[in-house]
């Protein structure tokens, strides 16, 4: 019984002590977090006496906050004496001497910390972080360099030192640490790229790192260490990001020559240049590969792709010179004869036919060439569908509407639930529209509103709305018949007749509802014939008389584009893009309008 009473008393005493400890700890932390250090220090003093290692940092910080530097000095020295890895504690003691106004003693402690630190990763990190916490960055760099000296082949601390240089604002030194990391181990390239992008920011306007230092330092190193090809690869990466394809071509070509390569890098750059509509650089890339000779594995492909690039460059012009189209078509036909009919030359065959039909006014020749190719060579069903759609378009060009419809229907039947089949279905709907069968055309468009391809769905929706709005309550389809026939004339490049037909709608039907559609189509014609000022007037008419109709936001955005790209009035373009953001905030053009407005204003967006 006596022993039981003693155990109970001991248990009660232990519980009381623990409860008291828990209460003191909670109060201490509460005051500490509330920055009431004068109250917190009372509790931490008691807690520190019982568990010095657990509460040293809190007690130390409270002593500094309450300016009890003598006690802070005392407990720090005590911990240095009893700790085996105490280098980081010298930093705290140095901070005490700084606050006491004793710079000599302060410096002695920092120097002692660097001198006595054990060059192991954990202790290096602990001491460097201690220096970083009090913004003693040069000491932190010195610590990491000591660690690097001890483990140069395993862990050289490049990223840690680079991060400190960033905090110091020394971007050039930071960049060089990352470049050292890449030279140290090539597999560090992607990590270094990610860190550099985060540190230097990203320039939305120029599409890459927004600080020129990186490019400068890379170019210096490449000149000094031409054998380090990874540096050239990194510079090419940056140049491509910034869309400096001329610079990328120079570096890629030099690297290919240095490595005695087969031109793979130049073929990839050509594709990238084409996707960014830089056809001049693409042509230079292909020409370089061609110059390597017929034994090069890319020789044939480079010849074909060069002509494809030439085609894209020519057709990207609103009204390309006929002589250029003639010369390009001759080169294409020569290549087709050289290589024969195959999947390799199929893009040339198709483009040659399109040149004849749409740029050389020879649609009958284009149709004949495609039909001959179909008779001589068995294409897979997807390529065959492309040919049939092109043939249908060409028959439409010369007025063979039923031949066109037959070809479209064949593709639609073979690819009923696929995008190419939906495209054929929309073409057939347009044929019905041109033939003034508006009820059938609208029914087909309403089905296509749910097409998997967004472009087809949007085009179908637009055509359906045009038919609904134009026919209206009185069901008078005559104005729309004239309008659809004008659209067919535009497709056939009969622009003068198309404008005359559009203007006649206003004369014959004074109360029709096609005003904005007519202005929009006339603007399209004027753009195709390089009459940009006239096109801008058409868009302005839509904004003045039909701002809330279907083409309101289209007209405003396209007018802004005209002033930016063709009429050379950046201020006017900037104002129009700004109007776009205010007047049509829900438009699909808002994102592009905002970006172009910022570009014209000269913003750099990180």
Q: What is the pTM of this model?
A: 0.70
What pLDDT does residue 16 have?
43
C-alpha triplet 514, 519, 525: angle, nearest 5° = 125
- What tokens appear for 129 in the block? 């972080």
Q: What is the pLDDT of residues 173-228, one digit of tens each?
A: 999 999 999 999 888 888 888 888 788 765 544 445 657 888 888 889 988 887 88
What pLDDT does residue 433 have?
92
Report yes or no: 432 and 444 within 8 Å, Cβ to Cβ: yes
Q: What is the pLDDT of residues 292-301, one digit of tens each?
A: 999 999 999 9
Share of the chain above pLDDT 70, in %: 93
Q: What is the pLDDT of residues 590-605, one digit of tens each?
A: 999 999 999 888 764 4
Q: Domain ranges in the chain?
A: 514-606
Alpha carbon 606 to its chain centroid, in Å, reads 13
The architecture of the domain spanning 514-606 is Alpha Horseshoe (1.25)
C-alpha triplet 168, 171, 172: angle, nearest 5° = 125
Confidence of residue 40 (pLDDT cuts 50, 70, 90): confident
What pLDDT does residue 317 have?
81
What pLDDT does residue 149 have?
92
* C-alpha separations of 257 from 229, 251, 289 in Å: 12, 10, 11
Under DSSP, is residue 203 helix (H, G, I), strand (E, B) or coil?
strand
What pLDDT does residue 472 have?
67
What pLDDT does residue 215 have?
85
What pLDDT does residue 11 have?
45
Q: What is the pLDDT of residues 369-383, one digit of tens each?
A: 999 988 888 888 998
Q: What is the pLDDT of residues 131-160, one digit of tens each?
A: 999 999 999 999 999 999 998 888 999 999
Sign of the Cα pseudo-torsion (420, 421, 426, 430, in order): positive
Mean model confidence pLDDT for the chain: 88
């Amino acid at each position: 019984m006596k022993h039981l009473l003693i155990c109970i008393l001991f248990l009660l005493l232990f519980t009381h002590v623990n409860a008291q400890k828990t209460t003191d700890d909670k109060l201490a932390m509460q005051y500490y977090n509330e920055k009431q250090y004068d109250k917190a220090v009372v509790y931490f003093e008691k807690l520190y006496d019982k568990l010095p290692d657990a509460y040293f940092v809190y007690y130390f910080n409270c002593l500094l906050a309450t300016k009890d530097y003598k006690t802070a000095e005392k407990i720090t020295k005590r911990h240095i004496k009893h700790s085996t890895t105490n280098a980081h504690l010298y930093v705290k003691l140095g901070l005490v001497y700084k606050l006491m106004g004793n710079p000599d003693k302060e410096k002695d402690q920092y120097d002692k910390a660097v001198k006595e630190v054990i060059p192991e990763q954990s202790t290096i990190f602990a001491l460097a972080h201690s220096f970083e916490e009090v913004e003693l960055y040069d000491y932190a760099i010195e610590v990491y360099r000591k660690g690097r000296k001890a483990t140069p082949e395993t862990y050289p601390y490049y990223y840690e030192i680079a991060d400190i240089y960033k905090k110091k604002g020394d971007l050039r030194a930071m960049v060089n640490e990352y470049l050292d990391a890449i030279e140290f181990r090539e597999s560090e390239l992607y990590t270094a790229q990610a860190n550099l992008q985060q540190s230097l920011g990203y320039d939305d306007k120029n599409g890459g790192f927004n600080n020129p230092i990186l490019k400068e330092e890379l170019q210096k190193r490449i000149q000094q260490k031409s054998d380090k090809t990874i540096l050239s690869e990194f510079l090419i990466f940056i140049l491509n990001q910034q869309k400096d394809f001329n610079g990328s071509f120079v570096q890629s070509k030099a690297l290919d020559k240095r490595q005695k390569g087969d031109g793979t890098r130049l073929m990839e750059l050509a594709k990238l240049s084409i996707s960014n509509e830089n056809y001049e650089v693409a042509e230079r890339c292909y020409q370089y590969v061609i110059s390597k000779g017929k034994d090069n594995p890319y020789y044939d492909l480079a010849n074909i792709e060069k002509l494809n690039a030439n085609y894209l460059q020519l057709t990207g012009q609103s009204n390309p010179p006929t002589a250029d189209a003639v010369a390009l078509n001759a080169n294409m036909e020569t290549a087709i004869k050289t290589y024969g009919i195959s999947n390799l030359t199929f893009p040339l065959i198709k483009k040659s036919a399109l040149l004849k039909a749409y740029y050389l006014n020879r649609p009958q020749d284009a149709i004949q060439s495609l039909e001959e190719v179909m008779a001589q060579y068995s294409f897979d069903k997807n390529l065959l569908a492309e040919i049939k759609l092109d043939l249908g378009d060409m028959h439409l060009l010369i007025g063979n509407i039923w031949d066109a419809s037959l070809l479209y229907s064949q593709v639609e039947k073979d690819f009923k639930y696929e995008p190419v089949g939906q495209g054929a279905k929309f073409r057939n709907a347009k044929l019905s529209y041109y033939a003034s069968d508006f009820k059938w055309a609208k029914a087909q468009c309403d089905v296509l509103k749910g097409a998997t391809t967004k472009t087809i769905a949007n085009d179908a929706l637009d055509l359906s709305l045009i038919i609904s709005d134009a026919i209206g309550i009185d069901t008078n389809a005559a104005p729309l018949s004239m309008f659809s026939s004008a659209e067919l004339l535009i497709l056939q490049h009969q622009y003068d007749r198309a404008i005359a037909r559009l203007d006649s709608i206003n004369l014959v039907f004074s109360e029709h509802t096609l005003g904005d559609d007519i202005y929009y189509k006339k603007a399209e014609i004027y753009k195709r014939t390089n009459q940009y000022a006239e096109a801008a007037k058409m868009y302005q008419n839509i904004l003045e008389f039909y701002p809330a109709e279907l083409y309101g936001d289209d007209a405003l955005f396209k007018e802004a584009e005209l002033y930016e790209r063709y009429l050379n009035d950046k201020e006017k373009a900037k104002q129009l893009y700004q109007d776009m953001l205010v007047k049509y905030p829900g438009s699909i053009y808002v994102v592009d309008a905002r970006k172009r407005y910022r570009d014209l204003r000269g913003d750099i967006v990180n």
